[in-house]
Amino acid sequence: MSTSNDFQNNQEMIEKNKKDLEKNKLASDSITSNVDNEIQNDDTIAEDTIKEDIVEEETVEDMILDPEQERIMKITARLEDKEYKMSTLKLALYLGELLIKNGAETYRVEDSVIRICKSRGYNHINCFTTPTVLIISDDKFDGLCFMKTINSRGINLHKIALLNNFSRDFVNKIDPDINEEIKELRQIDKEKGYPTWLYLAGTGIGSASFAAILGGNQILTYILTFLTSILATYIYDKTIKYSSIVMFSTILSSVIITSIGVFFHKIGYIDTPSALIVGSIMPLIPGVAFIKSMRDLISGNLMAGTARLFEVFMIFTAIAFGVAVILGIGGI
The predicted structure's pLDDT at residue 59: 47
Rounded CA gap, 120 and 137, in Å? 15
Mean pLDDT of 244-270: 88
- Domain membership of residue 73 (yes or no) is no
Evaluate if residue 249 carries a pLDDT over 70: yes
Rounded CA gap, 182 and 89, in Å? 11
Instruction: Name the domain count of the chain.
Output: 3
User: Domain range holding 149?
Assistant: 81-190
- Alpha-carbon torsion (308, 313, 318, 319), positive or negative: positive
pLDDT digits (tens, 9 = 90+) for 185-220: 999 999 887 888 998 999 999 999 888 888 766 788
> Mean pLDDT over all residues of the chain?
80
Q: Are 171 and 95 in contact (CB under 8 A)?
A: no
- Domain boundary (172, 190, 208) is at 190
On whether both 135 and 185 belong to a single domain, the answer is yes
On whether both 250 and 325 belong to a single domain, the answer is yes
pLDDT digits (tens, 9 = 90+) for 163-173: 999 999 998 88
On whether both 227 and 269 belong to a single domain, the answer is yes
On whether both 325 and 201 belong to a single domain, the answer is yes
Q: Are 247 and 318 in contact (CB under 8 A)?
A: yes
Please indicate whether residue 22 or residue 270 has the higher confidence score (pLDDT). 270
The predicted structure's pLDDT at residue 160: 92
pLDDT digits (tens, 9 = 90+) for 76-124: 656 666 788 888 899 999 999 999 999 888 888 999 999 998 888 888 8
The predicted structure's pLDDT at residue 265: 86
Rounded CA gap, 161 and 247, in Å? 28
How long a stretch of residues is the chain? 332
On whether both 138 and 225 belong to a single domain, the answer is no
126: helix, strand or coil:
strand
The predicted structure's pLDDT at residue 58: 46
On whether both 203 and 317 belong to a single domain, the answer is yes
On whether both 175 and 106 belong to a single domain, the answer is yes
- Domain membership of residue 72 (yes or no) is no
- Domain membership of residue 88 (yes or no) is yes
- Domain membership of residue 76 (yes or no) is no
- Domain membership of residue 69 (yes or no) is no
> Residue 70 — pLDDT band, cuts 50, 70, 90?
low
